[in-house]
Chain A
Amino acid sequence: MIARLRLYVVGFFAAVLLCCVIPPKRIAWAKPLTYTIADTTGDWGFPSPYRSYPRGPGYLRMSFLFDTMTWKNKEGEVLPALARRWEYLDDENAYVFELNKSATWHDGTAFTADDVAFTVQYRKTYPMAWIDPKIIEKAVPIDPHTVKLVLSEKYAPFLINVAGTMPILPRHIWENVTDPRTFGTEKALVGTGPFNLLDYDKAQGSYLYEANRAYYGGTPKVDRLKVIKFSTEMVAAALRQGQVDAGSIPPDLAEGMKQAGFQVIRAPYGWHLKLVMNHREPPLNEKNFRQALAYAIDRQALVEITQRGHAVAGNPGFVPPDSSWYNPQVTAYPFDLDRAKALLQGLGCEVRDGKVFRGEASLKLEMLSQPRFKEVGLFVKEQLERLGIEIDIRSLESKTLDFKVLHWQFQLAISGHGGLYEPSFLKRGILDEDFNSVRYRRNQELTKLVNAQLAEMHPEKRKEIVFHIQELYAEDLPNLPLYYPNWYWAHNGLLELFYTRNGVALGIPIPLNKLVFIEKR
């Protein structure tokens, strides 16, 4: 009997030991780790390169599925993605990329240099939004994992704006697609990215992604990624109720969410609201007149009153004040009504009875405004009327306003645009024929410098040029940046969301850099 007891005891301990040594079997019905993101708009299009809406959020939805050659990390450093290494050949003005050999497409096919070459060629036939097809002159595959991209001209931001933005398409799927804008089958979603798309619901504006366990760049930290639509008013409530893990919140709630224990991050300034001036027609064609307006509008008060302090006053030099390219030495145009009046008088105007007169008639300007910025329009009108200029506000919806600005059918207008991270925006914003552009070419030196900075490959020299540009811009003041708004995201800390320095890809100010979701190997 004692022997049997001993047997039982030994058996018991052996069993316990065995249980500790053998790892527990993964329970098949465990819930997948899902990360939920709230988005205020919802639908940004089918997340394939030619179908996602050509806006930041649309690009990001697509970027979860499609990788690019390079990609930025939190500090804005250019890191390897599909390209493992690269080298710039100065004499040829070409980049040679050594590709990552372990990268595969979602359907298992191997990723090769042919895919890169094909993408470059395909884009010449079917231009993709965001990227200028003319920059890459040709793509030459050297071996299955090396490709040389020859540029047509010197382009300093190539690694970010092109190599870091252009999604690579699988040749074996797209080579027979003749109408990319209607190509919407499952095959259109095959990329090299860290996620697969499980579902996209246009009406609900929701996206469901599943982790790609075979991703070459690391392990996805979550099993599923959900993006659902919530109105701005409801995102904070949804966060508090645990319905979402992250989302953008109105600036008024930033403090409250922080105190409630959420992580709140602020976007680097990448968007601004400006007072657009028709510098082709009198009286705004006079530089001194424009400067007078700048002195008359108290931008700090504008921020405090209309934005409740959740913004930073505009920089007359164009570049946002927290940018590494910001020149603090430009003319600041602090609020000075007397100086403004003096400038006007210098132009031959008379100020009497609180009104400005040019010759016989009192000065009156028409300002186009949008309902969205109604309060700003009202404020600017008030300020200019204190100076003595009568302002007639016309409220238009944004597309009509853009149209009128584009065709110079205006005197003053209030509109905004973003993409203020990489200095290449200087060319887009000053010289290009776009309704967001100032289209100011009267200052020869300014024009020359704006073009020069784009081709200056040496970063130190480029910075010097950009600094000089800001000085000239602030002096001529073809338009007046009014403010840069504070944009916040809040999250519950499950993942470390971050704002990429200078924006994701070519400058998207949203903290949905796919690296957030990946554990690098």
Chain B
Amino acid sequence: MHISIGAEFRKNRFGQVGLILLTAITVLALLAPFVVPVDPHRQTRRSFEPPSALHILGTNHVGQDNWSRLVHGARTSLLVGFLVACAATIIGAVLGVSCALRGGLYDGIMMRLVDALIIIPAIIILILVFAYLKPDIYLIIISIALLSWAGGARILRAQTLTFKERAHIWAARSFGGNNWYVMRRHIVPDLSPILVVEFIHAFRRGIFMEAGLAFLGIGDSTTVSWGTIMRNAVEYSYMNVWSWWLLPVGLALSIAILSLTFIGHTLEPVMEPRLREEASA
């Protein structure tokens, strides 16, 4: 819209902190192979070792390097979060906007579906689904996305409804633009700030859900995940090594979620005041 994202960030200290943290984690994750000295999957005899020169955060129960696993876990979390956000935002945008533009019965049914999906607790459905199906990383991403798009859809629909009546849309239509054209050229660009905010929310949810599911044991066994690391750390909590095994991972997860929360909070005012109320309602 006409509120500059950059300006919002310059004002808000929390947003800056969030952005810095997120960038730091992303950079670390991207540079993983260079930053990390050891293969995270390599099992050795040196288990439960305290932090040392070779193993900055010590080793776990099968002698794997905790730091390597932390960084590789970041990759998984960020990747899953990102893909979930992409999927959820796209689905939410397409469905939300199309509802606003089409209206009628389609809109009616869709909105009931959307409201229903918002209320239903996603975690139990996910557990049930993965009790049956084998947890593959892409299946996990799709499932989380399918249960996360609803919130965004509702907001986008509301925003599109207000835009629909704007003058420049009328003009475009009167020049012969059909729904797709209008959506593509006018509405979506104007919606971009909201899309960004919803993207951030979905990103955050994706990271949290993936870690949570992995913690419960639902995870892709070939990938290193923060949730799995925490699960193992809690399992061996009696070894008194949790301060360098559990804490760093928990903190990393918290920082990732936190940074996204801050960024999200900063960007929220870019939405119109009326929608601001809708969003927080």
Contacts and interface: CB of A to CB of B under 8 A. Distances in A.
A–B touching in complex (CB under 8 Å): yes
Given A378-B41, A379-B43, A253 B63 contact: no
B134 A306 contact: no
Interface stretch (B9-17, B179-187, B230-238): B230-238
A393 B63 CA distance: 21
B238 A305 contact: no
Contacts, number: 46
Interface in A221-274: 232-234, 236-237, 250, 252-253
B221 A374 contact: yes
Contact of B43 (A237, A378, A393): A378
A237 B234 CA distance: 14
B238 A250 contact: yes
Nearest to A249: B238
B239 interface: yes
Contact of A304 (B41, B45, B236): B45
Given A371-B221, A378-B43, A308 B61 contact: yes
A219 interface: no
Interface in B59-74: 61-63
Contact of A393 (B221, B235, B236): B221
A375 interface: yes
A369 B237 CA distance: 25
B234 A233 contact: yes
Contacts of B222: 393
Interface string B101-131: 0000000000000000000000000000000
A233 B43 contact: no
Interface residues of B, number: 19
Contact of A395 (B63, B221, B235): B221
A291 to B, nearest CB: 25
A396 interface: yes
Grouping DSSP codes into helix (H, G, I), strand (E, B) and loop, the B interface class, with mixed when no group exceeds half, is loop
Interface in B194-239: 217, 221-222, 234-239
B217 A233 contact: no
B44 interface: yes
A382 B238 CA distance: 29
Nearest to A395: B221
Interface string A344-371: 0000000000000000000000000101
Contacts of A236: 238
Interface residues of A, number: 22
Given A305-B62, A305-B63, A306-B62, A375 B238 contact: no
A394 to B, nearest CB: 8
A267 B86 CA distance: 53
Contacts of B235: 232-233
B47 interface: yes
B221 to A, nearest CB: 4
Interface string B40-84: 010111011000000000000111000000000000000000000
Contacts of B63: 305
Nearest to B63: A305
A255 to B, nearest CB: 12
B43 A305 contact: yes
Contacts of A379: 43
A395 B219 CA distance: 10
Given A304-B45, A305-B44, A305-B45, A233 B221 contact: no
A236 B234 CA distance: 14
Interface of A: 232-234, 236-237, 250, 252-253, 304-306, 308, 369, 371, 374-375, 378-379, 382, 393, 395-396
Given A304-B45, A371-B221, 17 more contacts: A232-B235, A233-B234, A250-B236, A252-B236, A252-B238, A253-B239, A305-B45, A305-B62, A306-B62, A308-B61, A308-B62, A369-B221, A374-B221, A378-B41, A378-B43, A379-B43, A396-B134
Interface of B: 41, 43-45, 47-48, 61-63, 134, 217, 221-222, 234-239
18 contacts: A232-B235, A233-B235, A233-B236, A250-B236, A250-B238, A305-B44, A305-B45, A305-B63, A308-B47, A308-B61, A369-B221, A375-B43, A375-B61, A375-B62, A378-B43, A379-B43, A393-B221, A393-B222
Instruction: Report, nearest first, the 7 A-B pairs whose CB atoms are least far apart.
Output: A395-B221, A375-B62, A233-B238, A233-B237, A305-B43, A308-B47, A304-B45
